[in-house]
Amino acid sequence: MVAGAESPGSSVVAQPSAARPTLRIRPTKGWAALNLRELWSYRDLLWILVERNIKVIYKQTALGIAWVALQPLIAAIILAVIAGRVAKLPSDGAPHLLFIFCGLTVWNYFSQTAQRSSTSLVNNAQLVSKVYFPRMLIPLSHTFSTLVDFAVTLIMLFVFMAIYHVPPTLRLLAIPGFLFLTAITATGVALWFSALSVKYRDTNYALPLFLQIWMWASAIIYPTSMIESPRWQSLFALNPVVGFVEGFRWCVLGKSALNPTMFWITVGMSILALLTGAFFFRRVERDFADII
């Protein structure tokens, strides 16, 4: 029997009624299709997993959702003191705290999505080895559930805007667009790392280090405008997080180094991250149950 052969006549042997099998299980080789239709048919499970993630994080915690607000607040204050008072870095003329909080809003969402989903498959090993469903749903569910944390930080960002008397403008309407780009990039990174962590358990040690380096390379406590040559700026934009951070600053503060070239590089890199992550994940997911 030829593996994976789709000869139209072969099903007739077992099935005189000539009905098409609803499911053919065959070994797959090489790169697999993304199978978005199946993913869509499991959307109910995705929402229930998202709900579970949110509930589980805040059950049996004393401060509950307050942790979400506290963590970026304290980080922003520390970074603002270091950048503004100690290192005396420029901030494109904006108040340091607000300037940094813009960056942290994006960065926290990005890094939390990557971090939570990278361990998600291993944490759900029992599920992966016992039940079938598109495995991608597990890391994907964190892209959505982390939005709760993002919403809280975003509200805090608006509060900071009020405190510093920064008037809201129509530019704020572009935030969902930048959020979308951030989400797909984070998903791509999450797919890479969650798949790798099934095979290599030390991925979970490597990721925080990797994220830390990434954070300092992402113009969070300093403006991209510190880089003067436009050519170097474009190169810098190959890190898509730079684009998101500058995008948020443009929405909130109106001043940013974001230019069309940089924007399109960011969009391209986001899509690249998502697609490579998704295809890599599909490629290795068939072995998950055997090695997890």
Partner 1 sequence: MSDVTLSVQNLSKSFRIAHQRGGLRGYRTLHDELVTLPRRLINRLRGNGRSTSETFWALKNVSFDVKRGEVLGIIGSNGAGKSTLLKILNRITEPTIGGVDIYGRVGALLEVGTGFHPELTGRENIFLNGAILGMTRAEIKRKFDEIVAFAEVERFLDTPVKRYSSGMYVRLAFAVAAHLDPEILLIDEVLAVGDAEFQKKCLAKMEDVAANEGRTVIFVSHNMDAVCHLCSRCILLRQGEVAKSGDAAEVVATYLGGEQDQAPVIDFPPVDSEASFQFAGLHNPKGQATTSFSTSEPVLLKCLFKVRRQIEGLQFSFAVLNFKHERLFYSTVSMGDPPISVETPGEHHLAALIPGRLLLPGRYSITLALHTPKTKLYDIRRQAFSFRIVATVADRYDGFSGDELGHVHADVKWQRIQNVSATHRETAMV
- Contact predicate 104/75, CB 8 Å: yes
Q: Which is nearer to partner 1, 52 or 232 (CB)?
A: 52
Q: Which is nearer to partner 1, 141 or 270 (CB)?
A: 141
Q: Which is nearer to partner 1, 86 or 131 (CB)?
A: 131
CA distances (Å), 286 to each of 53, 86, 119, 272, 281, in order? 24, 51, 18, 22, 9
Name 153's Cβ contacts closer than 8 Å, sequence gap at least 6. Answer: 68, 69, 72, 104, 105, 108, 109
Which residues form the interface with partner 1 (CB under 8 A)?
1, 3-4, 11, 14-17, 19, 21-28, 44-45, 47-49, 51-52, 55-56, 59-60, 126-133, 196, 198-203, 206, 286, 289-291
Minimum distance, C-beta of residue 15 to partner 1, in the bound complex (Å): 6
In angstroms, rounded to a whole number, what is the distance separating the alpha carbons of residues 274 and 280?
10
In angstroms, rounded to a whole number, what is the distance separating the alpha carbons of residues 128 and 199?
14
Minimum distance, C-beta of residue 291 to partner 1, in the bound complex (Å): 6
CA distances (Å), 29 to each of 33, 252, 281, 282, in order? 11, 48, 14, 11
Q: Which is nearer to partner 1, 68 or 253 (CB)?
A: 68
CA distances (Å), 137 to each of 42, 160, 182, 225, 270, in order? 8, 35, 18, 39, 19
Minimum distance, C-beta of residue 39 to partner 1, in the bound complex (Å): 14
Q: Which is nearer to partner 1, 2 or 170 (CB)?
A: 2
- Contact predicate 238/267, CB 8 Å: no
Minimum distance, C-beta of residue 218 to partner 1, in the bound complex (Å): 23
Of 114, 136, 138, nearest in space to 208 by CA: 114
Minimum distance, C-beta of residue 227 to partner 1, in the bound complex (Å): 32
Minimum distance, C-beta of residue 192 to partner 1, in the bound complex (Å): 13
Q: Which is nearer to partner 1, 17 or 229 (CB)?
A: 17
